[in-house]
Structure 1
Amino acid sequence: MKMHEKNLKITIEEFDKIYSKYYSQLFYYAYGFVEDSETCRDIVSDVFGQAWENIERLERATIGSYLYSCVRNKCIDYLRHDQAARQYVEYLQDVVEDDEGMTPEEYEERLRIVKQIISELPPRTRFVLEQCYFNNKKYQEVAEILDVTSSAVKKHIMKALSILRERLSVIKS
């Protein structure tokens, strides 16, 4: 029985063939969820990285469904995080934007507080936030500057916006 089980497992040599066979299929599958080619490349690469780390547990018969399932789940996670990031940005705009009864001094004070919070962010997180939101650079552009993935840039954005939201909610209440 052990000999039969061993034949079902994927060998390291077979992994290259699996990668070649599935990479573009998975890329276009991801693109059906996330219409950003750089993000799709990151997602598919992450899935293959995860598969490589778990190669001893993967089986030939189920590798295709495993890869598609992982890509689908990572796309859904990405979309959830992306939605959260948009909500944070909208929240920040609401906090800083001119309320009906807000005086120019109150507006300036809110803006000063936001700038202060941003200045206290960890340096790399602050850099990413400034590049993406103040210099209008795309995640991929910032990723290339820092020599990281666009997913890492996205995580810094989420961290920055989370800190801003948390600190501003304390101040606003």
Structure 2
Amino acid sequence: MTPITQEENDFNHIFRSSKNGFIQFAYSYLGNMQDAEDVVMESYIQYWENKDKETFKSTNIKGYIFTIIRNRCIDVLEERKNLLQKNDELHRHLIGEIEINISSLKGCDPSELFTSEIEEIVNDTIKTLPNRTREIFYERYLEQKPYKTIAENFGISVKGVEFHISKSLNLLRKNLKDYL
């Protein structure tokens, strides 16, 4: 067993004495304890993996780790912001599509397309779907998007899209069993 170096001893001390404070700092910005803990641990690892580079030799270890944490928090928040912006755009688009479809349905004679009971069952069933399942259902059947495109939009696998579509169709079949 090799003896612990002064560098390792200093790092261990900073890890033990600062970890909780660093986590609280990250949590205060990220609002999620798991994300905060991940950011802090990743920052310690990043420092340790790069400690032998010339720029680290004269650097305050605690200050440098804090800077890594701050930068990683910024990255996480930027990722969240971008995701929310994409979701907001998607929601506005879906609402527009839904409004067009509602308007179209109101403008036609329901007896030619569906009985009022079937339309009510379909609308009520779609309203009961979880948000993500409903959004995937709309992209597939209202926007006619392929499974692969939908999977990319939601950051899930094609199998995940198939699961949500299957879930929607099974519920519609179940609720419309008396009409099919």
Superposed displacement of residue 97, structure 1 = 2.1
Give the Cα–Cα distance (whole angstroms) in 1 for the partners of residues 68 and 96 of structure 2: 44
Structure 1 unaligned residues grouped into runs of 5+: 1-8, 135-173
Cα deviations by residue, 1:102-126 (Å, 9 ceiling, x for unpaired): 2368x7431x31755225x4xxx42
Aligned to 1:113: 145
How big is the shift at 1:60?
7.3
Q: Is the 8 A contact 1:10 1:60 kept in 2?
A: no
Partner of 2:81 in structure 1?
Answer: 83
Greater relative contact order, per chain length (Cα 8 Å cut-off, separation 6+):
1
TM-score by length of 2: 0.54
Identify the match of residue 93 of structure 1 among 91, 94, 111: 91
What residue number does 1:23 align with? 19
Partner of 2:50: 54
5+ unaligned residues in a row in structure 2: which ranges? 105-137, 165-180
Partner secondary structure for residue 91 of structure 2: helix
Q: What is the identity percentage for the equivalent residue pairs of Structure 1 and Structure 2?
A: 19
Structure-1-length-normalised TM-score: 0.56
- Structure of greater Rg: 2
2:110 alignment counterpart: none
Do residues 126 (structure 1) and 156 (structure 2) align?
A: yes
Matched, 1:66 2:64: yes
Q: Which of 37, 42, 50 is the aligned partner of 2:38? A: 42
The two structures, once aligned, show a CA RMSD in angstroms of 3.4
Residue pair 1:47, 1:67 contacting (<8 A) in 2 also: yes
Q: Secondary structure at the match of 1:126?
A: coil
Q: Name the count of aligned residue pairs.
A: 119
Per-residue deviation, 1:128: 10
Q: Distance in 2 between matches of 1:69 and 1:10?
A: 23
